[in-house]
Structure 1
């Protein structure tokens, strides 16, 4: 598999997109369509909103396919922690932070190094990953 990384900048922040990592949750363009528009070429318009709004939206990417860095801090290297953390999002996915390898039933292993969103509702069309279906079906935790 080809490792593609694309970068889009508004001068203050650079959005980094790794298409091979994307799990197509659609959170990016449902939350900030003026920046993330899958019908446009290129689909990311870094000039479409403020740096603060872009940063907040990119932080919501459950797969880590979208990341960012502030251009004035570009020299600072991102530190990858050896610790992993699993977090349950109320009425949503299980987020796994850190370095993990997901092994499917066929034995294929996929490494992740930021955030991975795992389906909890059982209705994702991209199992075992969350694709946002929990929102459309009104999934609620057993309280």
Structure 2
């Protein structure tokens, strides 16, 4: 799917539809700039202030919307703390100084954990269609506060026909924001069958999971 690029007077907006999970934070956050259910171009960055467009981009959990500032304003950068939220019956939502192998650097992404996305490693909302069920409130681990510094690069390496290997200082949080773990390296399920979600337990081998 092609990336839409819209040049405004103060900002350039890029929209990657293959990563969009339709959280609607764009059309609700700036409805004149991101217009739902219209024919033709639906993005009009000049209808609001550049800061409003930037706020929408920062609220987009999937990173489908990014903004390049050309007005001298502050561009998007790494968050103050790297975090991954486990969404109820849905994806892993990461906000971090992030690099995904084969996909480049980014700050926001939603990663499939139902195993059915056609845009792996990204979520494409297939979890809704297949009725995926997985808690967004995993049990906290004892080491949850053992890593005080949550800055620095985070590398996501999707393993062939296997889990997501994530390396870097990162807090794992529930969908409601409760801290449940802090990691420097861990493997997260993306086949949808682990009995220890969100972590991998090797079930991908049992079910014959294929990542491509």
TM-score bracket for this pair, using the shorter chain length: 0.5 to 0.7
Secondary structure at the counterpart of residue 59 of structure 2: coil
In terms of fraction of residues, the more strand-rich structure is 2
- The residue correspondences of 1:1-143 to structure 2 (distance < 5 A) are 3-40=1-38, 41-71=40-70, 85-87=83-85, 95-97=93-95, 98-99=98-99, 102=112, 104-106=114-116, 110-112=120-122, 125=128, 141=176
* Distance in 2 separating the partners of 1:49 and 1:95: 27
Deviation per residue, 1:27-52 (Å, 9 max, x gap):
11011101001222211111110111
Unaligned runs of 5+ in 2: 101-110, 133-174, 179-212
For the aligned residues, what is the CA RMSD? 3.8
Contact 2:92 2:112 in 1 (8 A): no
Greater than 4 Å deviation, 4+ residue runs: 106-109, 140-143
Bigger Rg, which one: 2
The number of aligned residues is 111
* Distance in 2 separating the partners of 1:35 and 1:85: 28
TM-score of the superposed pair, with normalisation by structure 2: 0.41
Q: Name the CA shift for 1:53/1:65 in 2 (closer, same or farther; >3 Å).
A: same
Contact 1:103 1:110 in 2 (8 A): no
Which of structures 1 and 2 has the larger relative contact order (alpha carbons within 8 angstroms, sep 6+)? 1
Unaligned runs of 5+ in 1: 119-123, 129-139
* Distance in 1 separating the partners of 2:117 and 2:3: 26
TM-score of the superposed pair, with normalisation by structure 1: 0.58
